[in-house]
Chains A and B, each alone.
Chain A
């Protein structure tokens, strides 16, 4: 049961560069999510996807682009990285439980923009 994997785990880039963070899940869950975690903010939703080719904005979408051509992959692209996008990024998918459900998270990507 591999779950959710994210790559790279660590990335350093420069202002203005394009960066893509990868997310892959092995469960075939329909819903997938991207969050960022910053000190003093907890986790904030960037984008989510209900299924392949269906995506929608979350709380903090500016500066990010997503795509979902296959159910198992949900990449997040920073088109022109800025210092304010330095953060830890978590991908998640929604999984049914007995009588409920939960989001399951990948290990995260720590991104530093210089």
Chain B
């Protein structure tokens, strides 16, 4: 069963606008969340993370929001640039028992058009 869900397989946004990627999770034991970006033929690249004790974390154009009561997080990219076109994975940490391994969503393919 998929514990981390990215329900939008794809998203298209115009350059300069905001991109919002969404992620839902079912396991209330998740305590740390990450977003990764992946280009074709490359490994996932870490973007930004957030601990469950926070509700927002910013890093330049990227902001992650966490709503624990709704078990929902989102990644905002402002402004979007063509180089942001990639697949974005949401991931959640399960805890010590699994070696802090990550549960990944299936990914959302973002296309930023000029």
Contact = CB atoms under 8 A, between A and B. Distances in A.
- Chain A interface, >50% SS class: strand
A5 to B, nearest CB: 10
Contacts of B34: 102-103
Interface of B: 2, 4, 32, 34, 36, 41-46, 49, 51, 89, 91, 98-102, 104-107
Nearest to A110: B41
Contacts of B41: 107-108
Interface string A44-57: 11001110000010
Which range contains the number of A residues in contact with the other chain?
20 to 34
Nearest to A9: B41
Interface of A: 4, 31, 33, 35, 40-45, 48-50, 56, 58, 90, 92, 94, 97, 99-108
Given A100-B49, A102-B34, A42 B105 contact: yes
A94 B2 CA distance: 23
